């Protein structure tokens, strides 16, 4: 069996790697690969094998079934235990033809009949010996002691295959989470020619991680630049050593998924039973439809002329910038003894990469071959560049309400795309802090906050006020009164350092507020207004902002009384919010609303009177029911009856008055509604 060696590994950011393996073969041979069960789906869906010779070819690719050992062994007749394996095998193949070689070199052939055991004493110790009962070809039954058997040949080929399958399955089952793929290569007749075989596949793998070092001297700070050194953390989780492999790291998010490909999938098929009635009877056959008149939408799409395919060719520039080995970049005095240009040249000379911009993806090709032992990891340099950088302060009251963050404002002025990752910041040969570099395309600018500047103290005060109504609108029966709300914010900033500082002050955006007073114009971010302020040494300043928003309150005119409407009309007229026509209309509506309220009050009083009389009538009827037939009782009954009659007359009058009021109220409501709908201001 020949061996495949890892030639190239391409590691992506979405959890898979693409492997290219190479091997040399002569004649008919096989290659063997081993994977975990969970990796088999990805490998099988992507596996591609190529024989680069003229006549050689790949005849087949076989792999272990996705069944555990116990399931596999159910398909054969043998089950050999760990102890007494020989006698157990003989027992299970009873009736098989065998050929034995016994002591003295004699050969005996026959059929197994079974095993017989007997006990004997040996040096005062009881031992058990086993005898093989064999029906010889001469039809003589022989007993052969196990100790005399030197070799044992099974003549039945099926039993031999089962025994071999059993042993191979058991040994492969010792690796519970491992499955083999065997690639069968054929020479095509050229058995003496060395052929090169390439194997390609993807498998699940840890993502490659990025870390950076930003190194800035005082001179570089004045020039607003620094050295960016990027490293990729690579992990070899496979069972193969990577010896001098080509390594590529791809940034981006291509589509990727798991597909259940390895384990067998069985579907439940319907059970069709044979018909019980076999006699035939005539049936009415429907006339066929002219289906060709109706073209299916999917077919029309297929018949359409295919659009020309756009082919994107991989391109990129060749460069030689990425970091140096670990010994070249230290955080101690080594940086101080080299000039900035010498340090950059030294690191660049020890870093060799090529990059490719693949549109949606970006690839770092490590020019130097990489070696990583199985189950080990390595740091690989991926870039070294001089980039734009300036030291600034960033204040956001939602994060630290008293101090700003110390930040580096970096611009990716390189030809590379920078992946997200942690960064260690070295300033003036000392550790300044740590930060996270976000995903940066070319020419992107980001702020990296790496520390808190406690020598700059900031406090903020905020207050708001509502101004008087400055306009009104009227429509659909509502009065909308508009007024301004002012919000004042004062930032008190004290720079206690002896250095000039550049402060970015992030002021939160508030819905619909606009600045009416601001010392300088801000830049805009999605959630903040960013003011850039220069702080002089030992200077304390007050930075004031004033914002304004127009608000309104809505009032339904019918909820107001006549006096309230007239009061608001007087205010609107005085402020010249409405004209004389609208003033007259509102006053008419006020009179109508007053008239409506009066009639509604009258109707309410009639309802109350009717309810009181109903209660009174119930009391009178109860009194009448308990009176007797004496003269005094008769007199009272007559009084109660007369009162009841008078109340019934009043009931009738109330009913008439209520109906009249209902009609008047309904008419007033319609009139008011019509007049209110005509209002417009």
pLDDT digits (tens, 9 = 90+) for 88-117: 777 777 878 888 888 777 888 888 888 887
Please say if the pLDDT value at position 322 is more than 70.
Answer: no
Residue 455's pLDDT is 94
312 vs 309: CA distance, rounded Å = 10
Residue 609's H or E segment, with its range, is helix 580-626
172 vs 68: CA distance, rounded Å = 10
133 vs 118: CA distance, rounded Å = 13
Q: Would residue 375 be called left, alpha or beta, if left means φ above 0 and alpha means ψ between -120 and 50 degrees?
A: left
33 vs 63: CA distance, rounded Å = 9
Selected residue with higher pLDDT from 624 and 514: 514
CA–CA distance from 290 to each of 163, 284, 294 (Å)?
63, 19, 8
415 vs 150: CA distance, rounded Å = 76
Please say if the pLDDT value at position 7 is more than 80.
Answer: yes
Nearest partner of 599 among 662, 670, 674, judged by Cα? 662
* DSSP letter assigned to residue 107: E
Confidence of residue 423 (pLDDT cuts 50, 70, 90): very high
613 vs 607: CA distance, rounded Å = 10
Collapsing DSSP to helix, strand or coil, 341 comes out as helix
Q: Write out pLDDT tens, residues 496-525.
A: 999 999 999 999 999 999 999 999 999 999
586 vs 483: CA distance, rounded Å = 22
Q: Write out pLDDT tens, residues 252-295.
A: 667 777 777 666 666 676 766 665 544 344 434 333 334 333 33
Residue 614's pLDDT is 86
Selected residue with higher pLDDT from 146 and 275: 146
The region of weakest confidence among 65-69, 194-198, 556-560 is: 65-69
Proportion of the chain above pLDDT 90, given as a percent: 34
Please say if the pLDDT value at position 640 is more than 50.
Answer: yes
Are the beta carbons of 584 and 478 closer than 8 angstroms?
no
Extended strands (E) in 353-397? 353-357, 362-372, 376-396
Are the beta carbons of 234 and 205 closer than 8 angstroms?
no
How many C-beta atoms surround the C-beta of residue 596 within 10 A?
19
Q: Write out pLDDT tens, residues 204-256.
A: 888 888 999 999 998 998 999 999 998 989 999 888 889 999 998 887 667 77
Give whichever of 171-175, 182-186, 314-318, 380-384 has the largest mean pLDDT.
Answer: 182-186
User: Cα 163–165–166 angle (5° rounding)?
Assistant: 65
Nearest partner of 200 among 401, 17, 359, judged by Cα? 17
581 vs 584: CA distance, rounded Å = 5
And the tokens for 148?
């005399």
Proportion of the chain above pLDDT 70, given as a percent: 81
435 vs 428: CA distance, rounded Å = 17
Please say if the pLDDT value at position 326 is more than 60.
Answer: no
Extended strands (E) in 397-522? 405-411, 421-427, 430-437, 445-452, 456-475, 478-495, 501-508, 514-517
Residue 34's pLDDT is 87
Q: Write out pLDDT tens, residues 61-86.
A: 888 765 555 555 555 666 767 677 77
Residue 662's pLDDT is 92
213 vs 379: CA distance, rounded Å = 13
Q: Average pLDDT over the chain, rounded to whole?
A: 80
Selected residue with higher pLDDT from 630 and 226: 226
Residue 48's pLDDT is 93
Q: Which residues of 230-250 are buried (b: 16+ CB within 10 A; e: fewer)?
A: bbbebbbebebebeebbbbbb
Average pLDDT on 337-353 reads: 59
400 vs 407: CA distance, rounded Å = 14
Selected residue with higher pLDDT from 2 and 172: 2
Please say if the pLDDT value at position 389 is more than 60.
Answer: yes
Tell me whether strands 194-204 and 48-51 are parallel, antiparallel or unpaired.
antiparallel
Residue 148's pLDDT is 79
Q: Report helix angle 580-626 to 631-677, nearest 10.
A: 160
Confidence of residue 311 (pLDDT cuts 50, 70, 90): very low
**Starting from the edge strand earliest in sequence, which strands make up the sheet with 149-154, in order?**
141-145, 126-136, 107-121, 97-102, 149-154
Residue 348's pLDDT is 55
89 vs 131: CA distance, rounded Å = 14
What's the burial of 12, exposed, middle or buried (CB within 10 Å: 0-12/13-18/19+)? buried
Q: Write out pLDDT tens, residues 124-134.
A: 777 777 888 88
Helix residue ranges, H only, 60-156: 69-73, 85-92
CA atoms within 13 A on the CB side of 190: 10
Are the beta carbons of 494 and 529 closer than 8 angstroms?
no
Selected residue with higher pLDDT from 486 and 111: 486
Confidence of residue 175 (pLDDT cuts 50, 70, 90): low
pTM higher than 0.75? no
């Amino acid at each position: 069996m020949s061996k495949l060696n890892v030639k190239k590994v391409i590691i992506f950011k979405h959890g898979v790697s693409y492997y290219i393996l190479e091997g040399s073969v002569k004649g008919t041979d096989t290659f063997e690969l081993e994977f975990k069960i969970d990796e088999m789906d990805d490998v099988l869906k992507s596996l591609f094998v190529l024989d680069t010779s003229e006549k050689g070819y790949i005849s087949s690719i076989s792999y272990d079934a996705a069944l555990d050992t116990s399931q596999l062994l159910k398909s054969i007749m043998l089950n050999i235990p760990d102890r007494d394996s020989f006698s157990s095998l003989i027992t299970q193949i009873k009736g098989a033809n065998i050929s034995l070689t016994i002591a003295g070199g004699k050969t005996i052939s026959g059929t197994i009949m079974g095993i017989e055991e007997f006990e004997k004493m040996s040096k005062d110790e009881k031992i058990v010996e086993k005898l093989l009962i064999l029906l010889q070809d001469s039809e003589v039954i022989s007993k052969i002691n196990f100790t005399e058997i030197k070799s044992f040949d099974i003549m039945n080929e099926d039993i031999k295959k089962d025994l071999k399958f059993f042993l191979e399955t058991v040994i492969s089952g010792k690796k519970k989470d491992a499955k083999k793929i065997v690639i069968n290569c054929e020479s095509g007749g050229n058995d003496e020619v060395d052929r090169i075989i390439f194997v390609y596949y993807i498998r699940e793998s840890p993502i490659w991680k990025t870390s950076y070092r930003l190194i800035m001297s005082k001179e570089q700070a004045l020039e607003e630049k620094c050295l960016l050194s990027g490293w990729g953390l690579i992990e070899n989780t496979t069972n193969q050593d990577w010896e001098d492999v080509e390594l590529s790291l791809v940034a981006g998010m291509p589509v990727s998924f798991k597909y259940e490909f390895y384990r067998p999938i069985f579907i439940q098929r319907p059970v069709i039973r044979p018909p019980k009635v076999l006699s035939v009877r005539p049936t009415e056959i429907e006339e066929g439809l002219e289906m060709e008149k109706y073209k299916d939408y999917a077919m029309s799409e297929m018949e359409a002329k295919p659009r020309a395919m756009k082919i994107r060719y991989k391109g990129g520039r060749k460069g030689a910038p990425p970091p140096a080995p670990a010994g070249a970049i230290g955080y101690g005095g080594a940086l101080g003894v080299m000039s900035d240009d010498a340090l950059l040249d030294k690191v660049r000379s020890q870093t060799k990469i090529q990059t490719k911009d693949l549109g949606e993806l970006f690839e770092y090709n490590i020019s130097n071959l990489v070696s990583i032992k199985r189950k080990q990891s390595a740091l690989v340099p991926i870039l070294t560049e001089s980039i734009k950088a300036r030291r600034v302060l960033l204040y956001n009251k939602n994060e630290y309400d008293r101090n700003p963050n110390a930040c580096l404002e970096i611009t990716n002025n390189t030809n590379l795309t920078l992946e997200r990752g942690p960064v260690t910041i070295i300033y003036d040969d000392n550790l300044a802090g740590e930060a996270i570099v976000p995903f940066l395309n070319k020419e992107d600018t980001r702020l990296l906050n790496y520390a808190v500047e406690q020598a700059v103290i900031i406090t903020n005060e905020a207050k708001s006020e509502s101004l008087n109504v400055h306009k009104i609108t009227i429509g659909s029966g509502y009065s909308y009164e508009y007024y301004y709300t002012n919000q004042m914010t004062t930032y008190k900033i004290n720079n206690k350092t002896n250095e000039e500082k550049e402060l970015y002050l992030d002021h939160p955006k508030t819905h619909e507020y606009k600045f009416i007073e601001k010392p300088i114009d801000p830049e805009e971010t999605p959630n903040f207004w960013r003011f850039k302020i220069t702080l002089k040494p030992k200077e304390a300043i007050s930075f004031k902002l004033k914002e304004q928003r127009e608000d309104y309150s809505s009032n339904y005119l019918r909820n107001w009384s006549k006096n309230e409407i007239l009061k608001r009309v007087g205010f609107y007229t005085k402020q010249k919010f409405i004209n004389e026509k609208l003033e007259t209309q509102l006053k008419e509506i006020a009179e109508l609303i007053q008239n409506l309220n009066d009639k509604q009050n009258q109707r309410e009083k009639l309802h109350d009177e009717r309810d009181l009389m109903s209660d009174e009538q119930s009391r009178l009827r109860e009194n009448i029911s308990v009176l007797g037939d004496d003269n005094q009782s008769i007199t009272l009954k007559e009084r109660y009856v007369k009162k009841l009659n008078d109340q019934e007359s009043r009931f009738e009058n109330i009913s008439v008055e209520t109906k009249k009021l209902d009609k008047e109220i309904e008419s007033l409501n319609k009139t008011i509604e019509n007049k209110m709908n005509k209002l417009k201001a």
